[in-house]
Amino acid sequence: MVRALRGMAAAVLLALVIGGSFATGRQLRQSVAGPIGSRVTALPGVGIGAGAGLMPGFAQSDDTSPASTFQDVYTYVKQQYVDRVDNDQKLGFGAVRSMLAALDDPKTRFYDPAQKQRLINELAGNYSGIGAVLTVVKEKRGEVEQNRLAVVAPVPGGPADRAGIRPGDVINYIDKRWVIAYDPRYDLSQLRLNRANAVQYDKEWKDATKRLADGISLPKALDVLSSTQKPLQLVIERAGSPSPISVTVDPAPFVLKPAEYRRLNDHVGYLRITEFNDAAGAAIHEAAQDTQIHGLIVDLRDAAGGPIVGTSPLPIAAQDLLGAFTRGGVVANLVTKGNERQSIAVSGEHHPVKLAVLINRGTANIAEVVAAALKERGGAVLIGSRSFGDAIYQRLVPLRDDTAMTLTAGKFFTATGGDFGKKGIAPDIAMAVGGPQPDDAAVRRALGVVEG
């Protein structure tokens, strides 16, 4: 699934390296003094040194904008490539995918029509694949920057959740294929000081190359996890677990209600929100209309957020919730391109009840905005564990040919200007919590708070 599919990935370039590494591998010789140079005898024919001046049409053109370079390459491909190239859409998809990947920003990426459709479905609560919101976490280990595939949150009740996958888990292997996080040949630098044994070094080199060759690239891994219909065996790394954990996730398409409301007793309501989409509106309205309650528990555990559709940075469902259960006014702040600051305000009929909000590591992004607003503007008590710490305003932008891109469009701050990026939001009452359910210890604790 990968609703947010926030990970882009070392992407295309990484895969290119894999292709390239076989070209000649380490065996290709290069000479300081020459063999290659002699080949060049034929090159003056193409005017290698002349560069741009060679081509008529280019020579007269002072148009050296990147755009014209793009067009020239396209034209050569169409006219000169050995095979007929007629899928222009595919060329365009490749161009945009790679361009966005070059930003090296996991939140800005391209969605082809199939990926876009899956995303739209998932935002509506129709999940496929393993059912987890994933992200790519950059992590520096020694000198090497690694891109690691991490779980923001499993979708409650989904295949990943049932298999025991938890927020923060890092997926290292999919069906025994290593999820390529970096070029393992970097590890060989460790052997540099110990190079007396050339045989061992060569063996290590071959092993590393094989590991890379047999691995699965991040974009591919994201696609597989989001669309698989077959069971997948995953090896995950979990903080606090000394050894890797192997789980099998048996995917099945399933529908999750983005929100549900119920009474816990005569005076306390329980509102679970996993996704702030339009379909969540009904449950939120139900809670807002329930005049019998004095207290409300808002369960935002494993509410992992996702790209925001439409022009409003705060989804309507979140506006409705905050309109009903805060004093109104500014509930969050947003900084966009060029450091432009804007305040996000809501209004509505205030329903003054005692609030407790359940959060955990899987509470991310818009759910963190909401949790902070309920606390700062509605007096809510936050219970559970520290939230994920994703403050990026990520928009879903439709593009031509039924494609889309997600875009890093800004950064959220809380109503009082608090920055929860990376570090997350700390609970007022800290306790270990799992995924959302209406009757666990965290809910009982929350019940005590709102009834007390």
Residue placing its CB nearer to another protein in the complex, 57 or 452: 57
Nearest CA among 369, 391, 432 for reference residue 107: 391
Give the C-alpha separation, 412 to 415, whole Å.
9
4, 307 Cβ separation under 8 angstroms: yes
Token output for 62: 């002072």
Residue 72 touches another protein, criterion: CB under 8 A: yes
Token output for 35: 């063999």
Residue 391 touches another protein, criterion: CB under 8 A: no
Binders in 20-59 for another protein, by CB under 8 A: 20-52, 54-58
Look at the block and give the residue holding tokens 């959302």.
436
Q: Which residues contact 35 (CB under 8 A, 6 or more apart)?
A: 29
CB of 271 to another protein, least distance (A): 31
**How large is the angle between the packed helices 66-80 and 88-101, nearest 10 degrees?**
140
The letter for the amino acid at 222 is L
97, 217 Cβ separation under 8 angstroms: no
From the list 136, 397, 413, 419, which residue makes contact with another protein (rule: CB under 8 A)? 397
Question: What does the longest C-alpha to C-alpha distance in the chain come to?
Answer: 91
**Backbone CA torsion sign across 435, 276, 111, 107:** negative
- State the alpha helices, DSSP H only, in 60-101: 66-80, 88-101
Give the C-alpha separation, 393 to 312, whole Å.
11
From the list 100, 298, 346, 381, which residue makes contact with another protein (rule: CB under 8 A)? 100
Residue placing its CB nearer to another protein in the complex, 191 or 279: 191
Stretch that binds another protein, among 62-70, 120-128, 146-154, 372-380 (CB under 8 A): 62-70
Residue 402 touches another protein, criterion: CB under 8 A: no
Residue 140 touches another protein, criterion: CB under 8 A: no
Residue placing its CB nearer to another protein in the complex, 102 or 255: 102
Residues near another protein (CB under 8 A), total = 123
Site track for another protein across 311-350, x = CB under 8 A: ------------------------xxx-------------
From the list 135, 146, 147, 217, which residue makes contact with another protein (rule: CB under 8 A)? 217
CB of 55 to another protein, least distance (A): 7
Binders in 157-196 for another protein, by CB under 8 A: 183, 185-186, 188-189, 191-192, 195-196
Stretch that binds another protein, among 94-102, 231-239, 268-276, 280-288 (CB under 8 A): 94-102
